Chain A
Amino acid sequence: MSKDDVLLRVDHLVKHFPIMQGIIISKQVGAVRAVDDISFDIRRGETLGLVGESGCGKSTTGRTILQLYRPTSGHVYYNDVDLTTLKGSALRPMRAKMQMIFQDPYASLNPRMTVGEIVGEPLVVHKWGGTREINQRVDELLTQVGLNPAFANRYPHEFSGGQRQRIGVARSLALKPDLIVCDEPISALDVSIQAQVVNLLEDLQDQLGLTYLFIAHDLSMVRHISDRVAVMYLGILAELADRAELYLNPLHPYTQALLSAVPIPDPVAEEKRARIILEGDVPSPANPPSGCHFRTRCPIAQPLCAEQKPEWRELRPDHFVACHFAT
C-alpha cells in the first residue's frame, strides 16, 4: 500500500440534495448539504475507514463515489479516469470494478429471489457467461464467504442476519471488483456475529487483494479493520490519519471528543478515562454553521471559526486536518 499507489482519488467532492416546496409548481427552496467539499485518496489494497455520526454524509459519500448519485461538483478518479464525466456504456465496465455492501442485510436482498439468483444477478446483467459457468461461479462465491453451495436454492428469509450479510458479500464479489464500499455492513448484526463478518472481510482482502472503503459509526470497529481512518462531521472531513496516529495524536477537537466518548470494554481502563462531553446536537445539514461546521459544539472555538472555513491541510506527513488551531 504505497502512498503513491492510488486506486481512487476524491477531489473536492460535493453532493447537495435539493429541498423542494410546492405541490403543483414545485421550486427549490434550499439544499441538504450532505457532502460539502471533501478530498481524499484510497490506496490500492488498503482499508480506508470512514466514521462519523448519523446523517453526517458517510453513505452519500460512498454512493457518490460509485456514481449511484451524480455529484453536484467535484471529481472522482478511478485509476486516473474521471468517473464523473462518464455516462451509460462507458460507466458500466467501471461499475463492475466497484461494488457496495449495504447496512441492512434484511432489506437489501430481494425476498423473492433465491440466494443463487441474488449472487448470480450481477453476472447475468454483465453477461459474464452461460448458465453453467454462472452456476459454477455462484458455487465458488458461496464457498468463498463460508456458505454451503447447497443453499443456492433457498430464499433469504431462511437465513440469519450474519448469513444474509455473507450473501451480500458474495454478490459484491461476483464480478471480481477491486474496490468495495462497505456501508455499515455490521451495524444491524448481533455483537457475536459482527466479528464473523469482519473476519470474513479481512480474509477476503488478503486472498483477493481487495480495497475497502469501510463506513461505520463504531470507531472501535473502524479502527480495528482500517489502515487509515477519516473522520467526517456534517458533510466535511475533520481529520484523516493512519489508525495508530489518529488514536495517539488526534488533532481535531471533534476527533478528540469522539475518541473520548467511545466506551472501552474494560472497567479498569474506563476508571482512568477523562471524557470530553460535547454540548448540544449536530446542526441540520440544510443549514450548517458558517465557517467551521463544528464551531457550534467546539470547546475551543474562536471568532475566526465563524468567519472562515478551515483549510484541509497536511499538518504532518500523511495526517490531514481541518481546524484553524490544530498544531
Chain B
Amino acid sequence: MAPKVLEVKDLATEFKTRDGIVHAVNGVSFELHEGETLGIVGESACGKTVTVLSILGLIPNPPGRVVSGTAHYLGKDLLKMSDEEIRFIRGAQISMVFQDPMTSFNPVLTIGRQVAEPIEIHQGVSRKEALERAGELLALVGIPNAKDRLADYPHQFSGGMRQRAMIAMALACSPTVLIADEPTTALDVTIQAQIIDIVKRLRDQLGMAIIWITHDLGIIAGLAQRVNVMYGGCIVEEAVVKELYGNPQHPYTLGLIGSLPRLDASTHTRLISIDGAPPILMQKPTSCPFAPRCTFVVDRCRQENPPLLSFDTHHRVACWVDPKTGGPRS
C-alpha cells in the first residue's frame, strides 16, 4: 500500500449538553494512504462529522472537546498544532467540503471572490490571477459558462452548482487530502452522479487522497477502495470494499447490507430490518454499542466493548461473535 498521509489513533470527542455529556466519538483509529479513497459510512449521529471535525481542529469548544487521541498528518500531530499551523494545513493541504453547502458559503460575497480567496492567500498570486484560476476551477467542476458566473452570489446557484463550487473551492490549492462530508446527500440522483463523476476524474488527475462520508453504501461501492463502518461513535468494521460487501463480519454491517433493496434485484425478497433504534451516546460505552439491537448478542457483549481487531489482512472487525457460527470469534 502507498505511504500513509493520515494516521488517527484513539480519537475521542465529547460535548457538554444540558442533558449531560454526549460521547460522540469513542476511540476511533484509522489510516489514510496517499491517493486512496476511504469511505466512512454510518447512520445519522454515529459520529462521522465529529470525527473529521476533530481531526481538523474544528470542534466548537465549548461545548465540545477532543478528550484523547492523536492524528498524524505526514508525521505531525494535527491535534497538537497551534491555531495558526492548523489553519495553514486546512486552507492548503487538507480541505473539506461540508454537509450543507448553503451554510459554508458567505451569502453576501460573490462565488468568484470566495473560490479565489484561498488561492490569493496561499499561493501569493494577485487577485486578478486568483479570479482567473477560480474561473478555470469552476469550469473544471462542470459549471457551464464559468467565467460569466464568477460575479454570481450563492443564492443564484442551484444546490448542485453550489456543491460543485464548494468542491472547486476545496481543490483551489491542490490539497493532498480532500474530506467530503455527505456532499451529495441533499441532491437529486442525476446531479449526484454528475458530482461523483467529476470527483473521480479529478482524483485520477490530481492524485489526492479522499475521505468520503456518507450513509449510502451504494455510493461507497462505486467510489472508495476502503470503508470504515461507524456505529455509536466507534468504528465497528473496516475493510477493502469488495471484502466488506462480499464478506461482511459485523452484525451491524450484515444488517445494513440486508436492509438495502437493490435496483438490479430480479426477485422481490423481504428486507432484513434491524429492530430498535441507534443509541443516543449519553454514556461512555462499557458494552458493545450495538448490543441492544443485535441478534447475535452474548453475555460478554454487555460487559465489554469489543476492540477493533484484525480479522484478515485489510479487514478489521469489533465483535465478540463470529456471525457464521454464532460462537466466539477465534
Using a CB–CB distance below 8 Å, which chain A residues touch chain B? 53-54, 160-163, 190-196, 198-199, 202, 217, 219-221, 223-224, 244, 247, 257-271, 273, 275, 277-282
Contact = CB atoms under 8 A, between A and B. Distances in A.
Nearest to A159: B277
Interface in B196-226: 197, 215-222
Contacts of B7: none
Main secondary structure of the interface of A (DSSP, over half): helix
Contacts of A267: 221-222, 241-242, 245
Contacts of B221: 263-267, 269-270
Interface stretch (B57-65, B187-195, B297-305): B187-195
B193 A261 contact: yes
Interface of B: 43-44, 144, 158, 160-161, 188-194, 197, 215-222, 241-242, 245-246, 255-266, 268, 270-275, 277-278
A190 B278 CA distance: 9
B261 A224 contact: yes
Contacts of B193: 260-261, 275, 277-278
Contacts of B271: 195, 198-199, 224
Contacts of B245: 265-268
10 contacts: A54-B188, A190-B277, A191-B215, A192-B256, A195-B259, A195-B274, A220-B261, A267-B221, A277-B193, A282-B188
B263 A281 contact: no
B210 to A, nearest CB: 16
Given A194-B259, A269-B264, A263 B277 contact: no
Contacts of A268: 242, 245-246
A192 B263 contact: no
Given A190-B215, A191-B215, 16 more contacts: A53-B190, A192-B274, A194-B259, A195-B259, A220-B218, A220-B261, A220-B263, A223-B263, A223-B265, A258-B190, A262-B189, A262-B218, A262-B263, A264-B222, A266-B262, A281-B160
Contacts of A191: 43, 215-217, 256, 259-260
A261 B189 contact: yes
A223 B267 CA distance: 11
Contact of A217 (B188, B264, B275): B188
A199 B273 contact: yes
Contacts of B43: 190-192
A202 B272 CA distance: 13
Contacts of A224: 261, 265, 268, 271
Contacts of B161: 281
Contacts of B258: 195
B176 to A, nearest CB: 25
A202 B255 CA distance: 19
Given A191-B259, A263-B216, A202 B160 contact: no
B264 A264 contact: yes
A191 B270 CA distance: 15
A162 B277 contact: yes
Listed from nearest, the 8 A-B pairs whose CB atoms lie closest are A263-B218, A224-B261, A270-B222, A195-B259, A261-B193, A53-B188, A195-B273, A195-B271
Most-contacted residue by chain B among A163, A192, A224, A268 (CB, 10 A) = A192
Given A160-B277, A190-B43, A195-B273, A264 B218 contact: yes
A163 to B, nearest CB: 8
A281 B158 contact: yes
A301 B245 CA distance: 39
B275 A244 contact: no
A234 to B, nearest CB: 12
A294 to B, nearest CB: 11
Contact of B190 (A161, A265, A278): A278
A271 B241 CA distance: 12
A7 to B, nearest CB: 21
A161 B280 CA distance: 13
A270 B256 CA distance: 18
B240 to A, nearest CB: 9
B277 to A, nearest CB: 4
